[in-house]
Amino acid sequence: MKLKSFVPTETLVMALDNVRAHKFRSFLTVLGIVIGVTTVIAIASILTGIRGNLIHFIEEYGTSNIYAFHLSTGISFGPSDREERKRKPLRPEDGEAIKQFAPSVDDVANDGFIEWNFDKTLTYGGQTYKQGNLEGVSANYGLITNLSLNSGRFISEADDQHRREVMVIGDSVVLALFPQGADPIGKQVTMQGKLYEIIGVLEKRKGSMLGENESDNQVLVPFRTLRKLSPRSEWMMLIIRAKSGEMRQALDQVEDILRRQRSVAYDQKNNFDLTTADRFIAEFDSITAQVGLVAIALSSVGLLVGGIGVMNIMLVSVTERTHEIGVRKAIGARRRDITNQFLFEAMTLTLLGGILGVTLAIIVSQIIAWIFPSLPASIPMWAVIAGLVVSAGVGLVFGVWPARKASRLDPIEALRYE
């Protein structure tokens, strides 16, 4: 009677029995795989969570907006260009030209910044706040950036024209200056020795990059009021809202107008920067891709070490089970049966390491989210699947040599082996 070949179920049971018989040895063998899989999935979960928050953050500010600034914006590394630092800031007249000559543009808002060494401390009733993001904005800024008010009103055109000393503040500013829960509307806070009336409170933003949104720290005053307060603060950003479905045309028109406004020759590069939501996300993706490559390189070391460990332990297993292999061959097992058996055992061992790595990555992500609530972590399914597939693949690759060695043993010699 011909011996029935080993079926996958039987092989799996045998592989698991072998792992259970040498628990500690098996764990040490796949430790490199566990570390490699955990590293990749944990990093992927953090980057995926940050990217999701980034998209939500940008959507809140508007996906139809173009941000124009005289310096490069977005994510960058390395020293800045010296020539770039010499660029002249944009002017309100540039925004007026865009509104007048760009048919695909719906509106343009001014967003002025204060000098870095300017004391922007707010004081009220013994409470102080030094972390505010002081900006001077035009009356249409709130509409273009989708700001919502929790109470009061936003800056009006009259406030800007008459350079009134009024301000709209974010949620974090309210909590710092009015810890007892008093209504801030109508209250006057002191900044630079002058009194500013609070006319509005911004609603807390839902989106954020790392758990905190800069809008919650915003202190908004009229654009011309800021220029009166600090005449040397010339830096400003133009926030340009394109008409629905005309982002590409608006971007081209804005670029052409700003080149003319800033006297850029046809053969010269732009001396300003234009950024959109899509471009910012693309920049973030390019950075995360580089981080991902570094993570893969680091985890590959662990996988390589784990793979070598698996090969070594399977060679030891072949030696230990030489007599068993001889018995199976003697009763009809074919080379293919022996090869498949040891390959499957190697893959089972590394797959268990992958499962342990995925479990550990989930635990690590939860711990990170608990310790650092502002650091989002969302484990993508593709990372889990890739981790399991790669771990099983390591067993397949590094288990070939031991499996072939086992299958080529002479049954007579194997039966004599003690």
The string of pLDDT tens digits covering residues 356-389 is 988 998 888 888 778 776 667 778 888 888 888 8
Q: What are phi and psi of 340, to 5 degrees?
A: -60, -40
Tens of pLDDT, residue by residue over 15-25, are: 667 777 777 77
263 and 411 together in one domain: no
Pairing of strands 133-137, 273-276: unpaired
CA 169 – CA 167 distance, rounded (Å): 6
Instruction: Please say if the pLDDT value at position 74 is more than 70.
Output: no
CB 351 within 8 A of CB 388: yes
Residue 128, both tokens = 């102080």
183 and 301 together in one domain: no
**Comparing 192 with 406, which gets the higher pLDDT?**
192
Determine the average pLDDT of the residues in 238-246. 91
| 160 found inside a domain | yes
Q: Is 69 helix (H, G, I), strand (E, B) or coil?
A: strand
Q: Residues near 333 by Cβ (< 8 Å), separated by ≥ 6?
A: 3, 5, 6
Residue 112, both tokens = 């002025």
Per the document, the length of the chain is: 418
| 61 found inside a domain | no
pLDDT at 177: 93
Residue 347 Cα distances to 5, 148, 399, angstroms: 19, 56, 8
381 and 258 together in one domain: no
**Extended beta strands in 62-193, E state:** 65-69, 105-113, 122-124, 127-129, 133-137, 149-152, 166-169, 188-191
**Which residue among 220, 240, 271 closes a domain?**
271
Range of the domain at 34: 8-56+283-416
CB 220 within 8 A of CB 160: no
257 and 289 together in one domain: no
Residue 250, both tokens = 């608006």
Determine the average pLDDT of the residues in 201-219. 72
Determine the average pLDDT of the residues in 48-75. 76
Determine the average pLDDT of the residues in 157-181. 92
Residue 108, both tokens = 């343009």
| 406 found inside a domain | yes
117 and 44 together in one domain: no
Q: Count CB atoms within 10 A of the CB of residue 295.
A: 19
Range list of H helices, 178-321: 223-229, 247-261, 277-320
Q: What is the DSSP letter of 239?
A: E
Q: Number of folded domains in the chain? A: 2
Range list of H helices, 119-165: 141-144, 157-161
Report the predicted TM-score, pTM, of the whole model to 2 decimal places: 0.69
Q: What are phi and psi of 270, to 5 degrees?
A: -60, 140
262 and 342 together in one domain: no
Residue 80, both tokens = 């800045």
| 72 found inside a domain | no
124 and 257 together in one domain: yes
The DSSP element (H or E) to which 151 belongs, if any, is strand 149-152
The number of angstroms, rounded, from the C-alpha of 232 to the middle of its chain's C-alpha atoms is 36
**Residues forming a β-bridge with 136:** 112, 221
**Which residue among 271, 306, 341 closes a domain?**
271
CA 215 – CA 171 distance, rounded (Å): 8
Q: What is the DSSP letter of 410?
A: -
96 and 231 together in one domain: yes
- % of the chain residues with pLDDT over 70: 85
335 and 252 together in one domain: no
CA 221 – CA 227 distance, rounded (Å): 10
| 76 found inside a domain | no
| 63 found inside a domain | no
**Which residue among 271, 301, 334 closes a domain?**
271
Which among 256, 240, 262 is positioned nearest to 111, based on CA atoms? 240
205 and 303 together in one domain: no
| 80 found inside a domain | no
Q: What is the DSSP letter of 140?
A: T
Which range, 65-74, 174-183, 186-195, has the best average confidence (pLDDT)? 186-195
98 and 244 together in one domain: yes
| 303 found inside a domain | yes
292 and 199 together in one domain: no
Provide the Cα torsion 117, 67, 53, 174; round to 10°: 50
